[in-house]
């Protein structure tokens, strides 16, 4: 199939959308283009935005690229050079205006651009907006545009071959089944593969493309900074960047208007191409009521529309732009935690002057083929994050700077964004052309994104400082050289450039890193994974993931995770029937993490008995279920560990942990990964668990040897920093001056109920009631020896027979928690539990909310509901049942009916794996 003729060359003459606004004429070139394989001479019709894979898929010339081993079968596609071409109309007016240009918001990646056969420009960076002067090449009437792309794989290899020295890593590890030299091209790094994704190095026009003409100038970017003064009045600093005709000066009026208020500014301006920006500082009177933007769970996400207009002096031309603005302040506090400076520094965020515990995850591209990521899908994934009490996502540095819809949605939902620049897990070249391209990239992306209140920090790269120091890629072979390159790129170029473009947000060189400590050590710390500074990335494979003692105690954990498999329903869409067993060749091929499938079985065996059904497909389903449990239990244990340490320091200075962001939120394809949301949006068990371990009020028990420790955590309460008068040790205490005395209807004082059950009975053995009153955001409220508890409850048969359940007065209302006293594989009493769906009832007229009742004859653990043929989610899942019935809700993504939903539902518990 790779060698056959795909189709005839088609010259497109479809009608274009031509818009004239205040003298500025815009011709939209999105839509149908001819996509040609220049090596084989074959063509198809493809959509723009798009790429050559989706063009071939849309023309039914290839199968789903994600099916089985199609990433290997279709490798030839990325080795060929592809071109995009079409025709468009240019009017007499457009040719007669001072500027006629082609604006490419995103070219992927290395390309030459031709108008009527004449070269008008080149690109080498996927993350840059290119504007090409086409006036010398265009004619009145029909014009042809052709963009000739080079194979990213071959280009990157050529760049590596031409380099003066090896810039590591040259290739990914074999398990990634990827392509080499991704670091030599400014392109989505993970499109060359990762340990959670396939290699599909795309070519194409991946963002909007249009022709525009004007006489005087058009607005390119509007950036904003919101500054809160000591008198609680706001200043809005706005910078307007214009595209001005070459060799001319432009005069006119600039107007800035904050919608819904009386705030306006109007002034004359004079601009040239060399001096094409205008800074406007507006002091907002205190009489204008400005509402703050807050992260999810801490207040409202109030947004204001900011309108900017430029009108030329002759009144014949106008350009306008609207951005959404949120008023908030952000700072990263890195003070010494104690008078003893050897105990390190804090690393936490203050939003609007309030310390905020960061609860969230990490975002990767939602598809290798970015044109398939629709605004509705972005909304679905970010809404899923907000629904489980997340307030932050890290846009990871091996993907892309996300779409406007992504950041707009984050603004609306209160999801703060930790924004990496797109450098990840590699060293990078520092020759002049590469650095010039990076400078354009940083400038463009900061100006494009700066107005979003959700973005709270810029980070230079993902893991490159740690990789350099630990010699992941043999950097020790010439450490002086690679360290110099690292500092040249991040400290020498990026840091001052970001500081120039955005003074309102913190910038760190790397994640993980030691923050200000790394800076004081010259930009590269001796140990950029310290628990006493900055942030860490923490992965604890093949260790007891369910024990608190497994995990370190950092200031901030911005990455940590465990793998699991996606659901059987998700996998069967891209597996053949014979592939659907755990040890199949395809299932091993799909696992990019080295020895990942063995590792997953080893993790299961720590906590559970391995599945052993003779039906291999059922055994695969049971294995999937158990991997999702181990992932959920492990991330729960680690997250709650971090939340418990937010308000205390140990003797060595560890503690004051103020961030927990697990790896990773979403999937790029259907495979075993670290994600809590499957490709397509289905919630794994981890995502349901996240709703509890990120809850605003959390009961957090754990075993410390033979002792049961229970913390109560309420980290969304407004807090203030408190310093011990003698030691100067820092803690966070509730700010009672705010008048907030309730937490979701629950008081800051009350009763913790501790109940012991045997695994084979709904009747409690014993209960204890502990009074509590929260003086800090994370506080130990119950502590007792396990043996003492068992003795008092008459659980005389041992830890295998009993467990503890916790609630605050009502066992049917959240928050609740449970704690086994041993590993689940040792538990006695669950073997014969039978769970089933007892009833389904519609609860709303829109046919999208349903009550589902589950019944069990014995205590059931990790009760898991699936609605196989109906897309949606449950209010809770993976739960414990300590009574014969439990009601949950199902939220259907589309209208359905009771019969359809009932027939789609299945339920299982841990007991079903073993009988």
- List active site positions: 463, 559
DSSP E strands, 6-160: 17-21, 24-28, 31-37, 42-48, 82-90, 99-104, 107-108, 111-115, 118-123, 130-133, 141-149
Q: Is 758 helix (H, G, I), strand (E, B) or coil?
A: strand
Q: Are 471 and 157 in contact (CB under 8 A)?
A: no
Which residue has 């700066």 as its token pair? Answer: 450
Q: Which residues pair with 234 in a beta bridge?
A: 228
Rounded to whole angstroms, how far apart are CA atoms 818 and 810? 14
Question: For the chain, first and last CA: distance in Å?
Answer: 48
Closest CA to 733 of 776, 698, 773: 776
Closest CA to 776 of 754, 809, 753, 748: 748
Q: Within 10 Å of residue 118's Cβ, how many Cβ atoms?
A: 11
Closest CA to 45 of 70, 13, 74: 13
Q: Are 235 and 113 in contact (CB under 8 A)?
A: no
Rounded to whole angstroms, how far apart are CA atoms 312 and 528? 52
Helices then strands (H, E): number in the chain? Answer: 20, 51
Rounded to whole angstroms, how far apart are CA atoms 590 and 175? 9
Please report the DSSP string for 519-557 in residue order: HHTTSS-S-TT-TTSSBEEE--TTS-TT-GGGS---S-E
Peptide bond into 815 cis (omega under 30): yes
Q: Which residues pair with 332 in a beta bridge?
A: 349
158 Cβ neighbours under 8 A, 6+ residues apart: none
Closest CA to 683 of 904, 849, 873: 873
Q: Are 308 and 342 in contact (CB under 8 A)?
A: no
Closest CA to 819 of 913, 763, 755: 755
Q: Are 600 and 609 in contact (CB under 8 A)?
A: no
Ramachandran angles phi, psi of 560, nearest 5°: -165, 150
Angle in degrees, CA 36, 42, 47, rounded to 5: 40
Helices 404-413 and 375-387 pack at an angle, to 10 degrees, of 30
Q: Which two tokens stand for residue 672?
A: 């075993």
CA distances from 794 to 456, 765, 791 (A): 53, 7, 5
Distance from chain centroid for Cα 5: 40
């Amino acid at each position: 199939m790779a060698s056959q003729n795909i189709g005839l060359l088609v010259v497109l003459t479809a009608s274009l959308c031509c818009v004239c606004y205040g003298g500025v004429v815009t011709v939209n070139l999105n839509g149908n283009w001819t996509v040609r394989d220049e090596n084989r001479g074959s063509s198809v019709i493809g959509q723009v935005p798009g790429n050559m894979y989706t063009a071939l898929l849309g023309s039914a010339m290839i199968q789903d690229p994600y099916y089985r081993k199609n990433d290997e079968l279709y490798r030839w596609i990325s080795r060929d050079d592809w071109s995009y071409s079409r025709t468009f109309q240019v009017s007499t007016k457009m040719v007669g205006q001072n500027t006629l240009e082609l604006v490419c918001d995103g070219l992927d990646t290395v390309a030459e651009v031709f108008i009527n056969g004449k070269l008008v420009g080149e690109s080498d960076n996927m993350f840059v907006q290119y504007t090409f002067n086409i006036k010398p090449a265009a004619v009145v009437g029909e014009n042809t545009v052709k963009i000739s792309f080079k194979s990213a794989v071959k280009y990157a290899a050529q760049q590596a071959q031409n380099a003066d020295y090896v810039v590591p890593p040259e290739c990914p590890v074999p398990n990634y089944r990827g392509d080499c030299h991704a670091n030599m091209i400014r392109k989505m790094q993970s499109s060359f593969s990762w340990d959670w994704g396939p290699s599909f190095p795309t070519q194409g026009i991946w963002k909007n493309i249009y022709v525009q003409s004007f006489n005087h100038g058009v607005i390119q970017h509007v950036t904003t900074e919101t500054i809160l003064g000591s008198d609680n009045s706001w200043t809005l600093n706005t910078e307007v960047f214009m595209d001005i005709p070459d060799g001319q000066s432009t005069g006119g009026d600039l107007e800035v208007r904050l919608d819904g208020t009386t705030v306006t500014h109007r002034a004359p301006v004079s601009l040239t191409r060399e001096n094409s920006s205008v800074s406007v500082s507006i002091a907002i009177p205190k009489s204008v009521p400005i509402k703050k933007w807050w992260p999810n769970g801490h207040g409202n996400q109030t947004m204001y529309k900011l309108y900017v207009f430029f009108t030329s002096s002759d009144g014949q031309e106008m350009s306008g732009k609207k951005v959404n603005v949120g008023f908030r302040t952000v700072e990263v506090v890195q003070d010494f935690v104690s008078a003893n400076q050897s105990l390190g520094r804090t690393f936490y965020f203050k939003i609007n002057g309030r310390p905020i515990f960061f609860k969230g995850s990490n975002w990767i591209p939602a598809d290798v083929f970015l044109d398939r990521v629709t605004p509705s899908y972005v909304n679905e994934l970010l809404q899923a994050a907000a629904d489980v009490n997340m307030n932050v996502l890290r846009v990871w540095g091996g993907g892309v700077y996300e779409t406007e819809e992504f950041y707009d949605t984050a603004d609306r939902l209160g999801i703060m964004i930790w924004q990496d620049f797109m450098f990840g897990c590699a060293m990078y070249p520092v020759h002049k052309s590469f650095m010039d391209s990076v400078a354009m990239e940083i400038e463009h992306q900061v100006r494009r994104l700066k107005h979003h209140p959700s973005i709270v920090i810029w980070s230079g790269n993902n893991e490159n400082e740690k990789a350099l120091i630990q010699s992941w890629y043999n950097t020790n072979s010439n450490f002086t050289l690679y360290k110099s390159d690292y500092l040249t790129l991040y400290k020498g170029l990026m840091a001052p450039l970001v500081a120039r473009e955005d003074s309102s947000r913190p910038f760190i060189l790397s994640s993980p890193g030691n923050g200000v400590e790394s800076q004081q050590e010259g930009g590269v710390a001796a140990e950029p994974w310290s628990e006493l500074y900055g942030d860490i990335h923490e992965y604890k494979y093949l260790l007891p993931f369910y024990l608190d003692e497994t995990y370190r105690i950092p200031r901030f954990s911005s990455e940590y995770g465990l793998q699991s498999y996606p659901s059987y329903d998700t996998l069967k869409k891209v597996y053949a029937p014979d592939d659907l067993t755990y040890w199949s060749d395809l299932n091993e091929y799909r696992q990019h993490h080295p020895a990942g499938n063995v590792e997953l079985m080893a993790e299961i065996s720590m906590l559970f008995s391995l599945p052993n059904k003779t039906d291999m497909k059922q055994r695969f389903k049971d294995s999937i279920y158990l991997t999702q449990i181990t992932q959920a239990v492990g991330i729960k244990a680690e997250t709650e560990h971090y939340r418990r340490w937010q308000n205390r320091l140990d003797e060595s200075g560890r503690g004051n942990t103020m961030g927990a962001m697990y790896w990773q939120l979403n999937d790029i394809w259907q495979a075993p990964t670290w994600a809590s949301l499957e490709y397509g949006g289905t919630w794994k068990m981890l995502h349901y668990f996240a709703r509890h371990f990120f809850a605003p009020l959390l009961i957090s028990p754990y075993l410390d040897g033979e002792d049961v420790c229970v913390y109560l955590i309420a980290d969304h309460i407004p807090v203030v920093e408190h310093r011990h008068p003698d030691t100067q040790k820092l803690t966070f205490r509730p700010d009672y001056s705010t008048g907030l005395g309730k937490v979701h209807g629950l008081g800051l004082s009350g009763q913790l109920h501790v109940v012991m059950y045997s695994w084979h009975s709904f009747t409690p053995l014993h209960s204890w009631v502990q009074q509590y009153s929260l003086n800090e955001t994370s506080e130990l409220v119950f502590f007792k020896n396990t043996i003492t508890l068992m003795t008092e409850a008459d659980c005389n048969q041992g830890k295998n027979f009993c467990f503890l359940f916790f609630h605050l007065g009502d066992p049917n209302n959240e928050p609740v928690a449970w704690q086994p006293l041993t590993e689940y594989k040792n538990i006695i009493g669950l073997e014969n539990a039978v769970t089933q769906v007892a009833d389904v009832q519609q609860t709303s007229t829109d046919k999208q909310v349903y009550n589902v009742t589950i019944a069990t004859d014995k205590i059931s653990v990790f009760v898991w509901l699936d609605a196989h043929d109906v897309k949606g989610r449950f209010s809770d899942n993976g739960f414990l049942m300590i009574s014969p019935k439990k009601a949950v809700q199902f939220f259907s993504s589309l209208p359905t009916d009771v019969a359809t939903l009932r027939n789609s539902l299945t339920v299982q518990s841990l007991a079903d794996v073993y009988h």
